[in-house]
Structure 1
Amino acid sequence: MTSSRPLKFGVRLGQQSYSEPVPRICFLIYLLFTLDFFVHISSRIPGVNQFRPTLILVGLLALFLLFNAGRLKEKLQSPTAKALGILLLYILVTMPLVKWPGSALRDNTQEFIKAFVFFYFTLLIIDTDKRLKWFLFIFLGSQLFRVIEPLYLNVTEGYWGSGTYMGGAIQNRLAGAPHDVINGNELGFVIATLVPFLHYLLIKKGWLLKLVYFALLGVLLWALVLTMSRGALIALLVVLWFIFKQSERKPLLLAIAFVVAVVGWSQMSDVQRDRYLSLTGADVQGSGSASGRLSGIGHELGLAMDYPLFGHGLGTTGEAKFNKFGRAQASHSLYAELVIEIGIFGFVLFMGFLRAIYKNFKVLQAQTQKIEKDEALAKELSFEQDLALAMRACFWMYVVYSINYWGLSVYYWYLFGGLCAAVVMLTERKVMRIEQQAKDDVPMKGLS
């Protein structure tokens, strides 16, 4: 008999629709796409980039999903998918109404597509527990590689990759490796994303994995110091607050944090100390750039008001800033970028997408309450429970970091939204299966 019990995230899934995952080849291509996107495998092999492998992989995945549309259409009824769908429709319909539709369509659409497809690929392809764990392994592993590679090059070859103007001179900052074109702030963002997942997925395991976690944490903090990214430090503090808040060993965590802070501070150079002290408002090197960042956000909001209804066009922040201020720069803030590029209405729709992501945590919280009362569920859903804690910390870190970071045509909110929706779906199905098994076992016990 096919079950049609409504799931809490708003999708009515029959048993047939979720018992048949998409073909394995589709999942393997997605893993390859993820690796190539983050590790840039194609750029490391001479001549491969000219064939546009990323777009080829996107096209193959889109075709596979189109051929399996019958079993996937119900997933697209989730509130998160609907919210993103409305946003995409709005961007498409208002494209002729923006200030620079030609620039948006000709120069910037490709980057936006490569970003938002992460939502649909993750939601539609990550449809079993095994695939979820493999995807997390590949995604987190690739992010670790992005941090360890430039750090290794720094130690062995003196590589830095970026710099910042402080004290009348250019000071070195660690950035992405030569094949990974990200600046110090973006590398810091990768580090801040890794910490909650590594913490919650490894800290409760055996001593070996605990040692691996602490070793990796030391490497990540070392790399973060070298990036001199103040925004990433604030983002990391958000994550650490959630870890502290949910910990049962708060005094121990405070002691560890104090020791790490003292040791880390003693190992910093004077330039690095001044860089981070500038966050406090102290009159040190770098304080001007810190206040300049805040004033830059204010200027961007003023720029957004030049064309507030529908915006200047997708990906045109740099062009708009050049025309207004004479300098082409990426946005200082996602929230300002939204109004600049897709207008006030687009801003509201994007916030609706983030709100839909947040609602997924309410569903996972309800499942956590069930875990506390059911030993079978606690055993079956221990991984999902830890993952939910990691995602919750990551969500609020993203919310805070987006004040200081662009993101409309960047992958992180879309991948995260798809991952949250997929985890909720898998968790709901597992709960339904366990509850159904418990009901089926009742008459059998009675007969025995």
Structure 2
Amino acid sequence: MSTTADAIRSADAHSAHTYHPLPVVVATAEGAWMTDVEGRRYLDMLAGYSALNFGHGNRRLLDAAHAQLERVTLTSRAFHHDRFADFCTELAALCGKEAVLPMNTGAEAVETAVKTARKWGYEVKGVPDGHAKIVVAADNFHGRTTTIVSFSTDHEARDHYGPYTPGFEIVPYGDLTALAAAVTSNTVAVLLEPIQGEAGVLVPPAGYLRGVRELTRERNVLFMADEIQSGLGRTGKTFACEHEDVVPDVYILGKALGGGVVPVSAVVADLDVLGVFRPGEHGSTFGGNPLACAVALEVIAMLRTGEYQQRATELGDHLHRELNLLVGGGAVTAVRGRGLWAGVDIDPSRGTGREISEKLMELGVLVKDTHGSTIRIAPPLVISKEDLDWGLDQLRSVLGA
């Protein structure tokens, strides 16, 4: 068995350096715990950026995957398969919509939503061809494809990848006045994260999402909610938009939809939106494959129980109470978030987000930093209160709080 150092050296030598991971090499995982190649256990407080909402090695999801592996895993969309109709029906029902366009990754789903909005704008709204505009928020994170980084304000994601795709207007997140001013007759959609994850778990001002919904409805513009990180139980609701009783025109889903087992994403909307597509105009060889559908169907069934949303609410309330006790004591300057999801701004006197993450790793807790001074906390929704409290104790220890 290779050591941690050996594994990291090999990875560094033979992979593109597009990530700067913490120096831990995971070999096995179960529930909220991961074990490295040397047998050391770590509490996972990141959950694959919400892809692992239901924990590592969830028995229901593994059983669903194993059963499907014995039957058929891929047909391509050239043929029907016997899990596809159920997947589309159940996911549409979960979202309160009529139709589903399945893809694989979150970025693919966002790209699909962009294409959907433009085609809808030309064929339904009547925007002149080539003039469609989509309004997005500053500090967004929707993926790293060429089109998506074209409307990113993150220099690491954007710089030196031009020429950039036109057709996007960037406004400050949470600013309804700026949003209203940016919407014109050629605007086909507003694309937003209900909570901005990569930016540091930024929750918009109360009433913002409701205001976006009212504005887009008045101006005949699609409201597209990127719920890839915030959706499927993370915030204590099935969708983060529900906290303001808002239903967008388009849901963009991914991450937890595949349960951490397989990549599954989807755009979900009514037929007056997704009905603009005709055969051959969009697709994916692996999108909606039998294995993905089988796992996602089990995810949907689990969400229908309400158990995971309730856990995220109750444990999330506890998490935020404990974290907010650290604010103002010289260790933490701010805490944001909702449900089992928090962005914690570290006082610079205690170290950078990366340094705090490395110190937590040494104590057996895995989190990840963002934007210099912030750490993100998003444990699997199956975490026990005892394990959550143990993880928080390690944070207090590292911060000297």
Normalised TM-score (structure 1): 0.32
Kindly indicate which of the two structures has a greater share of residues assigned to helix. Answer: 1
Kindly indicate which of the two structures has a greater share of residues assigned to strand. Answer: 2
Normalised TM-score (structure 2): 0.34
Which has the larger Rg? Answer: 1
